Amino acid sequence: MPRFQQVFESLNHQLHVEKLTFRTWKRMEETMILPFLKSRTLKKITIYMWESDEPMREKMSRLGQITQCREAEMLKIHGKYGENFPIDCFLNCHGLTLSDYRSFIRAETTIKFIGVLQTSTVLESFLVEKNDSDELLKAIRGGGRPLWNSVETRPGSCIFKIPIANSDKFWKLDLSGTMVHLKRQ
């Protein structure tokens, strides 16, 4: 990758790319291409991560700082998600999708992620592709004391409105099936 980096630097030009997919293993060289892609043209960046918690945390922190990741319409990450995943690194992204290649993302983890991400002033859409929906629904409904002051649009609909602080807007949280979708309205 250093050879490619030299070529891109010598061109003094950014590439127009709409979709990018790459895999990271033990290194981050794959991400070195990102600064050479024209900002605001990327529709979707898909990243497959195979590292354990600490190396992934470090890589995610770096990715969250790259302009092209923040400005892409959707950043999709396939990986492992636990309590140590640095979700706060993605507060400045427009769209974020998480997919666990092994199993469901636990309800507690999803709740933590939503709690952090709903404070973003930039995020428009957050998706969790595989989730433990039943547990998540129980936790959000909270036995009559719903999380985040959410209001179910109609009983049993699995669609909630969450007020956005200091705004007349709200988040729409859709828990249909095994997918979770949080969208600014």
pLDDT digits (tens, 9 = 90+) for 114-140: 999 999 999 999 999 987 778 888 888
Q: How confident is the model at residue 37 (pLDDT cuts 50, 70, 90)?
A: confident
156: left (phi over 0), alpha (psi -120 to 50) or beta: left
Asked whether the whole model's pTM tops 0.75, one would answer yes
Sign of CA dihedral 74, 25, 65, 100: positive
Handedness of CA 86, 149, 137, 133 (dihedral sign): negative
Interatomic CA distance for residues 3 and 21, integer angstroms: 20
**What is the Cα 127 distance to its own chain's centre?**
7
Per-residue pLDDT of 103-120, as tens digits, reads 788 888 999 999 999 999
Share of the chain above pLDDT 70, in %: 91
